[in-house]
Amino acid sequence: MTQRTLVLLKPDAVRRGLVGQVLSRFEAKGLTIVALEHRTIDGEMADRHYAEHVERDFYPPLRAFATSGPLVALVLEGDEAIEVVRGLNGATDGRKAAPGTIRGDLSLSNRENLVHASDSPESAAREIALWFPALG
């Protein structure tokens, strides 16, 4: 089934000059970019995006990181895109993510892990509406 998923190339991806390389992996897989924006978010937007994490111990530094510089937000579309993108991204912790995945190849951190992707159809719908209201 064709799905859409919300992806963030986090501030570490922009700072490290990895935007093109990461986007290339998604495109090479056959996914289509249907929206894309370069943007710097404030703490309020971080709180809305990470609503399910705001009470967690790891959230304050995650909030500081998410707002530390520009990021690239995009929507990818393709067959089973939500699970496919999560597979390409790899496990959350870059130190444990499998080689061959974006995090496994390019990240050595549990927080600065380069990418975010929606984890379910419900979160994809919520996150796409939050970041790209015009896509509805």
Just list the catalytic residues.
116
CB of 106 to ligand CMP, least distance (A): 14
Matching residue, tokens 């530390």: 68
Which residues lie below 8 Å from residue 20, measured CB to CB, with a gap of 6+? Answer: none
Interface positions, 86-115, toward ligand CMP (CB under 6 A): 92, 110-111, 113
* Sign for the pseudo-dihedral over CA of 67, 68, 69, 73: negative
Q: Per rule CB under 6 A, is residue 67 in the interface with ligand CMP?
A: no
Which of 27, 33, 43, 58 is the binder for ligand CMP (CB under 6 A)?
58
C-alpha span between 93 and 17 (Å, rounded): 20
- Nearest to ligand CMP of 111, 126 (CB atom): 111
For residues 25 and 59, the answer to whether their CB atoms sit within 8 Å is no
End-to-end Cα distance, the chain: 19
CB of 1 to ligand CMP, least distance (A): 22
Report the Cα 136 to chain-centroid distance in Å: 19
- Nearest to ligand CMP of 3, 92 (CB atom): 92
Which of 62, 81, 88, 128 is the binder for ligand CMP (CB under 6 A)?
62
86 a known binding residue? yes
Q: Would you give the DSSP letter of residue 32?
A: E
Kindly list the residues in this chain that would bind ligand CMP in the complex (CB under 6 A): 53, 58, 62, 92, 110-111, 113, 116
Feature table: binding site for ATP = 10, 58, 86, 92, 103, 113
